[in-house]
Amino acid sequence: GVQSQQWKATLSHWFMKFLEEEGLLKRVFTQNIDGLDYQTGIQRRRVTNVHGSIANVSCEGCGREVPFDVFCEKVRRQIKDIYNVDPTAPKEPSEIRCPACNKALVKPNTVLFGSSLPGE
């Protein structure tokens, strides 16, 4: 949904963009991981994603960033559809490996339940 922009920014997201344009917005702290704030064109430096963003992907082993579109394509080709919605999905999953260290630790940069928030 995020890659295809199936989900759309809401009136609240657009209001933040309006505030930015008027010089009234200093920073947005959000717990949302969907990245809808950016559909409005809001400056990335103004948004703090407390729980990360699914639009940013990297290896948890070596830190290598992976382009979001590349990751989405790998998910479509390598991850089994457990809900049987996508007839083109593979019947068996295979690991998504890091192009740098070859470890299967590539995932969106989000804080999962039970994990600590980043120190930054």
Catalytic positions, written as ranges: 51
d(CA 70, CA 6): 18
- Contact indicator for 13, 39 with CB cutoff of 8 Å: yes
- The partner residues of 38 in beta bridges, in order of sequence, read none
Specify the residue for token string 């969106």. 108
Helix (H) or strand (E) holding 12: helix 11-21
DSSP code, position 83: T
In angstroms, rounded to a whole number, what is the distance separating the alpha carbons of residues 70 and 56?
Answer: 11
